[in-house]
Amino acid sequence: MTTTNYNIRLDQDLKDRSFSVLESYGLTPSQAIRLFLNQVADTNAVPLSFDYQPKLNAQTLAAIAEVASGNGTKYDSFGDLMDELEGEADEIH
């Protein structure tokens, strides 16, 4: 089997935090990446959970409540919405 090199960039904090965990399992970073990629190739899926649902901030919760109560702004078309957003963007700049 031929091999190939693949380089990645990551910030120092992520490297320090993750590599220490890998070392506690007795794995080198290369071994861990190889295990991950083998799992992806064998299962045709990413072996991570993407069901994380962050807590919504107060502004988002207020916007949801406004729409749910029927007080949200309604637009006749997507174009009307975009015109409104572009107008607000122009006011900011």
- Of 1.10.357.10, 1.10.1220.10, 3.60.15.10, 1.20.120.530, the CATH number of 1-51 is 1.10.1220.10
Q: What per-residue confidence (pLDDT) applies to 5?
A: 92
User: Domain limits of the chain?
Assistant: 1-51, 58-92
* Placement of tokens 């992520």 in the chain: 14
Reading phi first (left if > 0) and then psi (alpha if -120 to 50, else beta), residue 26 is in left
Question: pLDDT digit string (tens) for 40-86?
Answer: 999 999 998 877 777 889 999 999 999 999 998 889 999 999 999 99
Number of residues in the chain: 93
